[in-house]
Amino acid sequence: MQSDIDLIKSILKGKKPAERILYERHRQRWFRLALRYGTSKLEAQDIFQEGLVSIFKDLHQFDSKRGEFVHWSNRVLVNAALRFLKSNQWQNTFTDLKVAGNEQEVSENVLDKMAAKELVQIIQQMPLGYRVVFNMHVVEGFSHKEIAKELEISIGTSKSQLSKAKKALRNMLEEFFLNEKD
Amino acid sequence: MADNKNNLEGFFKNRINDFDKSTDGWDLPNESVWRNARNDFPNYPQKKKWNWKLGALIVIVSTLVLEGGYIYYLKNELVKTSKGIEIIQGQIGNKNNTIAIIEKEVFKIESELEKRKLNKQNLIVSPTQKNQIPIGFILNQDELNKSINRGSASTQIYLNSKDESNSFSIGNIETTGLRNDFKIAVAESTPISFSFIEIENVFPIKKLDLISEYNVVIPKLKQKKEKFELEINYNSLNFETPLTYDFEKLEKKDFGENESSFPIQFKGGGLHLSYNIRPKLWLSVGLRRTIGGFENIFVDKLIYDKSGEYIDNEGKIINEFKIITQTGFSDSGSSIDFEIPNGTNINDGDLFEAEWNYSQKYKFTNIPVGVNYYMGNDELNCFIKVGLGWNKVSLGKHFVEARLSYDNEILPIKRNQESEKELSSQFVNGFVGAGLDYKLNPIWNARASFTLEKNFIQKSEVLRSNSTSKVFNIGLSYRF
């Protein structure tokens, strides 16, 4: 099997079939990322499409010495997602919302029963600000400083958004299981 | 709480990236997304694939076209050359006829001369003395050089008496490089054929204008140049070598210096092969093999050492003395056992008379590589040579003969222990020399030279100093 780097070299030499191979290899990972930033599959597809174009347009800028292709492509996709979100839903994104309830511990039994699909659905239901900060910090591994820079907010806001996102997430998880029991 | 926080974050991160449990395609994009996105992908420049078949075809076609053109060209050239050859053959035919006539006439002349045993002096044409010459003569270069009037516009050569009608002029003859080994011949025919006949294989006349109506044929012969030379020579070599000797228990004040120098004379022969690399400059490699040796006698007093005494099977008192002699090439050692006769009482430290006669033979091989530069004229040259050589000197056994006496009584020698092994020493030398070279004839030269060789013998305990050798060389060389 050709490595990502070999495929990228082939693409840069104008070999079109290599584009499809690279796409097939990563589309699920990329699309899940898009799903987490969007609120629906339809919205995720728009983010995904924009991100996909960015990845292939900027492919010549990828430097294998500076990191793996997976991380580079994820970051390009996150940027695409942010661009999409900023152009559509960015107003009042980071206003503090009151989140009901206290911090509750979520038992491991509860978490074990959840699949990726349910988790993504829960994330999609979170307010945009929470969702973005949570995704960037928890899943993509951005630091608060990086998040602040990308989203043009303060580090404090980033931390606050994350904290509230997690609270909201716990509430949503509890609610999800209550509904499941019913 | 912290555990819970880590628990939640880790859980999300891991579970979201758990791709194995995707079954219903919820996390896969529609195919239309790919199609739409693909339209916006950049078109990276596709590197043109080398079509080797097309390339091969081009090469083959080009080769055929070029070959065809070249063959066509060659055919045309062949036609032209064939025509040229026909013309030249025609000319050669004419010239051959003329040459045949001349050769025939020359043969006649030479035969006639042989018959008459004419003295060549009588054949000299002298424009000043206007000596009569017979028709049909052979003139060698020396005679021609004497006969022609150098520096003048022309030289009148009379073929018969002082008859002006039977003479011709040679004008502007350039004799640079003329050699002795050709003759001039005039045939007894009308019109008179005049030719310089090549005797060896060199025709050195560069220009010859004949102010006459005589039919002149000058064969154009290619000058042959000798490139190689083989020399066989005899060498007399004087090798100045330091000698050190060290007799045990020697009373040095009686013996004198314990280091001196003496020559070893070598004689032998050699071969040299030379190659002419530039005019007057020859590269030479050789092999010289010479044999020499020495024989020395020392008379002196030695100090008796009683510790060397022992009793032999016959009950006689024997003592042993060792002799170590060092030469410029290597060291040699030997020992003698001598008997102390009954009734003779020699004490430790007594002096006794000793006469040593020792000799040694050497074989000397030399392989020189160098250059010779010649200066002079065609016949006599002086030359200088310079180069490096590899040398090997083999030492034969060291023979010792001794006569010992104490208080006028002979101490009989029981055993002469000669050196057991033959030693050899190798070294490099540099040489510079000069000599004279005389051309006996076009291929044989006689030569004599003197060479000084500085031998780079490494100094050591055994070899105390460098040596110099002087070589006189006479030889004969053959050029080819």
Enclosing domain of residue A131? 108-181
Q: Strands B209-211, B259-278: parallel, antiparallel or unpaired by DSSP?
A: unpaired
Say whether both B263 and B197 belong to one domain. no
Say whether both A112 and A173 belong to one domain. yes
Say whether both B310 and B450 belong to one domain. yes
Residues in chain B with CB shorter than 8 Å from the CB of A111 are 7-8, 11, 15
Residues in chain B with CB shorter than 8 Å from the CB of A57 are 40-42
Of the spans B142-146, B265-269, B425-429, which averages the highest pLDDT?
A: B265-269
Q: Which of B193, B217, B241 is the last residue of a domain?
A: B217
Could you tell me if residue A155 is inside a domain?
yes
Provide the residue type at B408 as one letter: N
DSSP secondary structure letters along A83-143: HHHHHHS-TTTTSPPP--S---PPPHHHHHT--HHHHHHHHHHS-HHHHHHHIIIIIS---
Residues in chain B with CB shorter than 8 Å from the CB of A35 are 27
Could you tell me if residue B453 is inside a domain?
yes
Could you tell me if residue B50 is inside a domain?
no
Say whether both A26 and A84 belong to one domain. yes
Could you tell me if residue B63 is inside a domain?
no
Could you tell me if residue B5 is inside a domain?
no
Q: Do B41 and A53 touch (CB under 8 A)?
A: yes
Could you tell me if residue A97 is inside a domain?
no
Residues in chain A with CB shorter than 8 Å from the CB of B28 are 27-28, 31
Q: Do A27 and B29 touch (CB under 8 A)?
A: yes
Could you tell me if residue B378 is inside a domain?
yes
Could you tell me if residue A44 is inside a domain?
yes
Say whether both B313 and B336 belong to one domain. yes
Say whether both B444 and B333 belong to one domain. yes
Q: Express as a percent the part of chain B with pLDDT over 90.
A: 16
Could you tell me if residue A94 is inside a domain?
no
Lowest mean pLDDT among B95-104, B185-194, B300-309: B185-194
Lowest mean pLDDT among A3-12, A42-51, A56-65, B173-182: B173-182
Per the structure, the count of domains in chain B is 2
| Backbone torsions φ then ψ of B140, nearest 5 degrees | -90, 175
Enclosing domain of residue B170? 120-217
Q: Beta partners for B363?
A: B291, B394
The closest CB to that of B8, out of A29, A49, A106, belongs to A106
Q: Which of residues B97 and B27 earns the better pLDDT score?
A: B27
Say whether both A43 and A84 belong to one domain. yes
What single DSSP character describes residue A57?
A: H
Say whether both A37 and A113 belong to one domain. no
Q: Which of B162, B183, B217 is the last residue of a domain?
A: B217
CATH code for the domain of A69: 1.10.1740.10
Per-residue pLDDT, B342: 83
Q: Do A13 and B26 touch (CB under 8 A)?
A: no
Chain B residue with the nearest C-alpha to that of A59: B42
ipTM of model over 0.85: no
Say whether both B200 and B279 belong to one domain. no
> In a 3-state reduction of DSSP, which class is residue A14?
coil
Say whether both A24 and A81 belong to one domain. yes
Determine how many CB atoms are found less than 10 A away from the CB of residue A180: 11
**Is some CB atom of chain A closer than 8 A to the CB atom of B7?**
yes
Say whether both B451 and B359 belong to one domain. yes
Say whether both B240 and B340 belong to one domain. yes
Say whether both B191 and B254 belong to one domain. no
Lowest mean pLDDT among B135-149, B195-209, B245-259, B273-287: B195-209
CB pairs under 8 A between A and B: 101
CATH code for the domain of B455: 2.40.160.20
Say whether both B435 and B352 belong to one domain. yes
Say whether both A29 and A76 belong to one domain. yes
CATH code for the domain of A153: 1.10.10.10
Residue B80 has pLDDT above 80, yes or no: yes
Q: Are B167 and B158 in contact (CB under 8 A)?
A: yes
Residue with tokens 């005797």: B199
Say whether both A125 and A60 belong to one domain. no
pLDDT digits (tens, 9 = 90+) for B396-430: 777 778 888 888 888 888 877 666 556 677 888 99
Helix residue spans in A15-68 (DSSP H)? 17-37, 41-57
Say whether both B448 and B325 belong to one domain. yes
Q: Which of A30, A55, A88 is the last residue of a domain?
A: A88
Per the structure, the count of domains in chain A is 2
Q: Which of residues B355 and B225 earns the better pLDDT score?
A: B355
Could you tell me if residue A57 is inside a domain?
yes
**Is some CB atom of chain A closer than 8 A to the CB atom of B17?**
yes
Of the spans B55-59, B198-202, B385-389, B420-424, which averages the highest pLDDT?
A: B385-389
Residue B137 has pLDDT above 50, yes or no: no
The closest alpha carbon to B179, from B476, B374, B381, B439, belongs to: B439
Secondary structure in 3-state letters for chain B: CHHHHHHHHHHHHHHHCCCCCCCCCCCCCCHHHHHHHHHCCCCCCCCCCCCHHHHHHHHHHHHHHHHHHHHHHHHHHHHHHHHHHHHHHHHHHHHHHHHHHHHHHHHHHHHHHHHHCCCHHHHCCCCCCCCCCCCCCEEEHHHHHHHCCCCCCEEEEECCCCCHHHEEEEECCCCCCCCCCEEEEECCCCCCEEEEEECCCCCCCCCCEEECCCEEECCCCCCCCCCEEEEEEEEEEEEEEEEEEEECCECHHHHCCCEEEEEEEEEEEEEEEEEEEECCEEEEEEEEEEEEEEEEEEEEEEECCHHHCEECCCCCEEEEEEEEEEECCCEEEEEEEEEECCCCCCCCCCEEEEEEEEEEEEEEEEEEEEEEEEEECCCEEEEEEEEEEEEEEEEEEEEEEEEEEECCEEECEEEEECCCCCEEEEEEEEEEEEEEEEECCCCEEEEEEEEEEEEECCCCCCCCCCEEEEEEEEEEEEEC
pLDDT digits (tens, 9 = 90+) for A50-84: 999 999 999 989 998 888 899 999 999 999 998 88
Per-residue pLDDT, B162: 43
Q: Which of B190, B217, B244 is the last residue of a domain?
A: B217
> In a 3-state reduction of DSSP, which class is residue A157?
helix
Q: Do A52 and B33 touch (CB under 8 A)?
A: yes
- Which of B3, B12, B48 is the best mutation test for A, with the most CBs of A within 10 A? B12
Q: Where does the pLDDT of residue A94 fall: very low under 50, low under 70, confident under 90, or very high at 90 and above?
A: low
Could you tell me if residue A121 is inside a domain?
yes
Cβ-based interface (< 8 Å): residues of A facing B: 11-15, 19-20, 23, 27-29, 31-32, 34-36, 41, 44-45, 48-49, 52-53, 56-57, 60, 103, 105-106, 108, 111, 114-117, 119-120, 138-139, 166, 169-170
Say whether both B302 and B442 belong to one domain. yes
Say whether both B430 and B291 belong to one domain. yes
Instruction: Give all strands of the β-sheet with B182-186 in edge-to-edge order.
Output: B138-140, B182-186, B193-198, B215-217
CA pair distance A101, A82, nearest whole angstrom: 29
Say whether both A8 and A79 belong to one domain. yes
Establish whether the linkage from the previous residue to B191 is cis, with ω within 30° of 0.
Answer: yes
Structure tokens at B394: 């083999």
Could you tell me if residue B67 is inside a domain?
no
Q: Which of residues B321 and B111 earns the better pLDDT score?
A: B321
